[in-house]
Amino acid sequence: MGRIKDKITIVTGGARGMGAATCRLFVAEGAKVMIADVLDEDGAKLAAELGANAAFGHLDVRDEDQWQALVAETESRFGPIDVLVNNAGVLLFKTIRDTDKADFERVTGINLTGTFLGVRTVGARMCERGRGSIVNISSADGMKGANGLGAYCASKWGIRGLTRVAAMEYGHKGVRVNSVHPGGIDTAMGNPYAEAKTDVNKRYTMVPMQRVGDSEEVAKTSLFLASDDSSYLCGAEIAVDGGMLTGQYYVGFPGAPGV
């Protein structure tokens, strides 16, 4: 406990899913957390649950003015920002042929432009103070292709590249920037029909760990990157994917599940 005691943190997309799990864990570990989201009711409810060390602020991550307002509110309520977790994101299942320009711009706007604005707005304040940690939530699909996820993959690959550039530009100013790459996670976005986990796991035969991930497992990785335990990590890419990216099973060959 207390791994990030008194660190002032913003978590975007913090009202539910991986974001909410991150907010809960960070508060439990001593941080003061601004829950940022467009889901006002869910965000306010979570802030009330977490108590005095949490607050909710409305944020459409695509809006630069809202970013400026959120940073000002966070600094006024808690103090200078130590940690930013760029978690807000949306998913779209469409082929490239079926994805229109508005679809593409919405996904990249939230996932990539939103992350850019956070890195730019909050990162500038961190650089002025000479310290800070930025955690960008990308995806396993930011390291590989996935049919039917053209806009999503493009946005998540973009986050990966943005993270590397930010690490180079901010690292020598005392600000660490790293990315997390979740695989399939049991959230409202990843499991929209709220299927039982045992049923979801049946679709994860291609993953070495043979199961879907939990939000808390991603949150713990973000906690590590936010804490001083990761003091020499900058520009790192950490896959929290149950081994999804390690390779594809040759079914029936030695070492495959069931063999």
Q: Which of 58, 61, 52 is nearest to 31 (CA)?
A: 52
Minimum mean pLDDT range among 51-55, 128-132, 253-257 = 253-257
| 170 catalytic residue (yes or no) | no
Helix (H, G, I), strand (E, B) or coil at 54: strand
Across-strand partners of 37?
58
Q: Which of 152, 170, 193, 232 is flagged as catalytic?
A: 152
Task: Assign 22 a pLDDT band (cuts: 50, 70, 90).
Answer: very high
CA 8 to chain centre: 17
Domains, in order of start, for the chain: 8-240 (3.40.50.720)
Q: How far apart are CA 139 and CA 187, in angstroms?
A: 14
- The whole-number pLDDT of residue 147 equals 92
Q: Which residue has the higher pLDDT, 57 or 187?
A: 57
Nearest to 124 by CA among 114, 138, 134: 134
Mean of pLDDT values over 233-249? 94
Residue 194: which pLDDT band, with cuts at 50, 70 and 90? Answer: confident
Please state, in angstroms and as integers, the Cα–Cα distance from residue 247 to each residue in 82, 120, 240, 243, following that order. 36, 35, 15, 8
pTM comes to 0.94
* pLDDT for residue 211: 93
189 — pLDDT class (breaks 50, 70, 90): confident
> For position 170, what pLDDT does the model report?
98
- The pLDDT score that the predictor gives to residue 187 is 84
Read off the pLDDT of residues 66-101 as tens digits, 9 standing for 90 and up.
999 999 999 999 999 999 999 999 999 999 999 999
Q: What is the pLDDT of residues 101-123, one digit of tens each?
A: 999 999 999 999 999 999 999 99
Owner of token pair 């335990």: 229
Instruction: Please tell me the predicted confidence (pLDDT) of residue 253.
Output: 61
pLDDT computed for residue 250 by the predictor: 65
Tens of pLDDT, residues 159-188 = 999 999 999 999 999 999 999 999 999 888
Which tokens go with 57? 């602020």
Structure confidence at residue 248 (pLDDT): 78
Helix count and strand count (H, E) for the chain = 8, 7
User: What pLDDT is recorded for position 208?
Assistant: 92
pLDDT for residue 258: 72
Give the residue-averaged pLDDT of 194-220. Answer: 91
**How far is the C-alpha of 59 from the C-alpha of 52, rounded, in Å?**
20
